[in-house]
Amino acid sequence: QVQLAESGGGSVQAGGSLSLSCVATGVDWDRYCMLWFRQAPGKEREGVAAIGSDSDTTYADSVKGRFTISKFNAKNTLYLRMNTLKPEDTGMYYCAAVATYHCYLLDPDKFVYGYWGQGTQVTVSS
């Protein structure tokens, strides 16, 4: 059974940095696409970054050059390093896992084997 648990959220001033972690148990790292999403109050959920089983990465235009997604398979952990944070980065950040080799900013809800974590809050003040 796949379980995802995020941590590392918090409050930071604009221009600051945060690192998020997601411990993913039950995931076959050779088969899964791992993703970070976020959702701000009153807004739709949006894909932030994705990393495939081959470690190829994809980023939303709004975070390119500022965020870095990475993974450490041996520790069953997915990371999101966020630099130069802006107030518009505020939201609940979710880790997701999808059993697919075709990794991009996809919607896990459209896959049979798509899983979500509970989320961690990131607040950036101006």
- Alpha carbon 9 to its chain centroid, in Å, reads 12
Structure tokens, 102: 């075709």
Q: In what order do the strands lie in the sheet with 18-25?
A: 3-7, 18-25, 77-82, 67-72
Long-range contacts (CB closer than 8 Å, 24 or more residues apart) made by 13-16: 13/124, 13/125, 13/126, 14/85, 14/86, 14/87, 14/124, 14/125, 14/126, 15/84, 15/85, 16/85, 16/124
Taking only the tens place, the pLDDT of each residue in 30-46 is: 899 999 999 998 999 99
How many helices and strands, by DSSP H and E, does the chain display?
0, 11
Give the per-residue pLDDT at 74.
86
Question: Mean pLDDT throughout 8-12?
Answer: 97
Give CA–CA dist 84/19, Å, rounded.
Answer: 12
Give the per-residue pLDDT at 61.
97
Handedness of CA 56, 62, 65, 71 (dihedral sign): negative
Taking only the tens place, the pLDDT of each residue in 63-110 is: 999 999 999 988 899 999 999 999 999 999 999 999 999 999 888 888
3-state secondary structure of 74: helix
> Please, which pLDDT band fits residue 115 given cuts at 50, 70 and 90?
very high
* Backbone phi and psi for residue 87, each to the nearest 5 degrees, phi listed first: -55, -35
